[in-house]
Amino acid sequence: MIDKEQIERVGEGLLVRAPAKINLSLLVDGRRPDGYHEISTVMAKVNWYDELLIEKSEKSGIELLCAGRYWSPGGEENLVYRACKLLCEYAGLRPALKVTLTKNVPAGAGLGSGSSDAAAALVGLNRLLGLDVGEKQLSNLAARLGSDVPFFLGGPLALCTGRGEKIEKITKEFRFSAILALPNINVCTKRVYENCQHEPAVYKTLNARINHYIQKNRIDLIARLCANMLFESCLQLHRELAELKLRIEDMGAGPVNLTGSGSTLYVLFEGAEEQKAILWRETLTKSIGCECVIVNNNRW
């Protein structure tokens, strides 16, 4: 896929791109008093984008149109709608907007597309209306929309802790290509977390290693761990995913990791191995019976 700029002027509106992400690591600790699990995750944006065209309208309110390959809810169920409404309320404005969301990235697949769409709406609307809402306040608003939303305001690489809303930017560039295997399987994030067995000793050990690697700027070593503590829970709930993982690994493509709570599996190729990824994508597409997409690390 080709890297594109985050924001472009289109007529009197703005076209804002919302990148997907993968979790290079995802550690899950115990449940917090607020019901969420404490997590520590290294997330990386990739160059696969939803697109939002944000325009001023003569009609009052927020008109949200959903287009593209993948389904997205309309109205107030959509995080884009809620993001626009929240920012306008914060700025003391009555919204008069038309927003067209083109879904190129599947939702509910562990790729963060809904959260990224919400962040793109905040960034784009802030610029279109000249609101000058600062970075810190925008991040606070983002956290009210969802745990992953603040990450997408920055990036392209960060350590996210708490319930995911505490962001520590990683400045080291980590170049990679990845094959995303996109099985047609609906995974319930809530069930995956509920089924996950809390392993304090494993969490402590992995967390120490990952933080050490971050301090040494060795993001490659984090990726090689394939440490996703939701993986086993997800595979227990979806045996077909476990079978798909084994098939990919048995073919020799490389270690397979899960992004988020699933259902997307990925094989990562470091540095200048994009040609290798292209060849493996062709092989896997013919053999495993599900769509495979190649992505690269995003620049912004």
For residue 225, tell me if it sits in a domain: yes
DSSP string, 81-116: HHHHHHHHHHHT---EEEEEEEE-S-SSSSS-HHHH
Tokens for 62, please give them.
């927020």
Considering the domain architecture, whether residues 162 and 227 belong to the same structural domain is answered as no
Host domain of residue 107: 7-169
Domain end call among 123, 152, 169: 169
Considering the domain architecture, whether residues 282 and 262 belong to the same structural domain is answered as yes
For residue 221, tell me if it sits in a domain: yes
Pick from 48, 49, 78, 50: which is nearest to 63 by CA? 78
Domain of 145, CATH number, reads 3.30.230.10
Considering the domain architecture, whether residues 15 and 149 belong to the same structural domain is answered as yes
Q: What is the pLDDT along the chain (300 residues), one digit of tens a residue?
A: 788 999 999 999 999 999 999 999 999 998 999 989 999 999 999 999 999 999 999 999 999 999 999 999 999 999 999 999 999 999 999 999 999 999 999 999 999 999 999 999 999 999 999 999 999 999 999 999 999 999 999 989 999 999 999 999 999 999 999 999 999 998 999 999 999 999 999 999 999 999 999 999 999 999 999 999 999 999 999 999 999 999 999 999 999 999 999 999 999 999 878 899 999 999 999 999 899 999 999 999
For residue 1, tell me if it sits in a domain: no
Considering the domain architecture, whether residues 142 and 249 belong to the same structural domain is answered as no
> Is-catalytic flag, 21?
yes
Considering the domain architecture, whether residues 65 and 135 belong to the same structural domain is answered as yes
Residue type, 33: P
Q: Which of 45, 50, 148, 245 is catalytic?
A: 148
Number of domains the chain contains: 2
Considering the domain architecture, whether residues 18 and 142 belong to the same structural domain is answered as yes
Sign of CA dihedral 284, 289, 294, 295: negative
How far is Cα of residue 279 from the mean position of the Cα atoms in its chain? 25
Domain end call among 134, 169, 204: 169
Q: Tell me the CB-side half-sphere exposure of residue 119, using CA atoms within 13 A.
A: 29
Domain of 237, CATH number, reads 3.30.70.890
Residue 2 confidence (pLDDT): 80
CB atoms closer than 10 angstroms to residue 237: 18
Considering the domain architecture, whether residues 215 and 150 belong to the same structural domain is answered as no
Considering the domain architecture, whether residues 13 and 160 belong to the same structural domain is answered as yes
Considering the domain architecture, whether residues 123 and 201 belong to the same structural domain is answered as no
Considering the domain architecture, whether residues 135 and 180 belong to the same structural domain is answered as no
Considering the domain architecture, whether residues 137 and 207 belong to the same structural domain is answered as no
Considering the domain architecture, whether residues 131 and 163 belong to the same structural domain is answered as yes
What is the pTM assigned to this prediction?
Answer: 0.96
Domain end call among 130, 146, 169: 169
For residue 110, tell me if it sits in a domain: yes
For residue 44, tell me if it sits in a domain: yes
Tokens for 21, please give them.
């992400």
Q: Tell me whether the omega of the peptide bond preceding residue 116 falls within 30 degrees of 0, making it cis.
A: no
For residue 2, tell me if it sits in a domain: no
For residue 125, tell me if it sits in a domain: yes
Residue 271 confidence (pLDDT): 87
Q: Which of 21, 45, 103, 245 is catalytic?
A: 21
Residue type, 100: T
For residue 159, tell me if it sits in a domain: yes
> Is-catalytic flag, 59?
no
